[in-house]
């Protein structure tokens, strides 16, 4: 597999997508933030002093994914046409499962945007709850699926 973020002399560069065809693309990323049971309970009962944790984290995720090109040096600025953020609390293991889906019709994928959205959502949850739980752990941030583009479909765990 050829690495496309380097020129002939090994210098990093932004990939030239000028001649590529625009296609419909979707990427879904996920991650988890583990916390004390009391912290999760406070989030679910809307008893965190900084406000609605899921509401703020959702907005932060969308703002973050729209600004991925400002954070990751070789990412293209993209015209994102849709983004969804989902939070699923797991009471048994005391974590929140985060999923972010990003869509567009364009010349390059949205995997980095989905991953950035998950990361920013998790960091926002941490920030909003750190006064009651500094031991929260963010983990398992990964691409779950992507479709569109030259490389086609990817679903984690499938060949």
Assess if CATH 3.60.21.10 describes domain 32-149: no
Quick one: average pLDDT of 92-105? 98
Q: pTM to 2 decimals?
A: 0.92
Phi/psi zone of residue 148: left (φ > 0), alpha (ψ -120 to 50 degrees), beta?
left
Percent of the chain with pLDDT over 70: 96
List all residues 6 or more positions away from 38 whose beta carbon is below 8 Å from its beta carbon.
132, 133
Entry field: residues in the chain: 159
Tell me how far apart the alpha carbons of residues 54 and 36 are, in angstroms, rounded to a whole number.
17
Task: Give the model's pLDDT for residue 38.
Answer: 98
Pairing of strands 137-147, 95-106: unpaired
| 3 state SS of 68 | helix
Give catalytic residues, as residue numbers.
Answer: 127
**What would the pLDDT profile of 4-40 be if each residue is shown by its tens digit?**
666 777 777 778 888 888 999 999 999 999 999 999 9
CA–CA separation, 148 and 70 (whole Å): 24
Domain boundaries along the sequence of the chain: 32-149
């Amino acid at each position: 597999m050829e690495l496309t973020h380097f020129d002939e002399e090994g210098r990093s560069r932004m990939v030239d997508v000028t001649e590529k065809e625009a296609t419909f693309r979707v990427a879904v990323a996920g991650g988890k933030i583990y916390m004390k049971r009391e912290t999760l309970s406070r989030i679910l009962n809307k008893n965190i002093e900084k406000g609605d944790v899921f509401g703020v984290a959702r907005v932060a995720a969308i703002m973050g994914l729209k600004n991925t090109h400002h954070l990751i040096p070789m990412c293209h600025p993209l015209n994102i046409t849709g983004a969804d953020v989902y939070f699923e609390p797991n009471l048994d293991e005391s974590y929140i499962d985060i999923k972010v889906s990003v869509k567009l019709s364009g010349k390059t994928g949205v995997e980095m945007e989905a991953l950035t959205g998950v990361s920013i959502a998790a960091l926002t949850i941490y920030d909003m709850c750190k006064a009651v739980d500094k031991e929260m752990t963010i983990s398992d941030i990964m691409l779950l699926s992507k479709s569109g583009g030259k490389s086609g479909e990817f679903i984690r765990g499938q060949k």
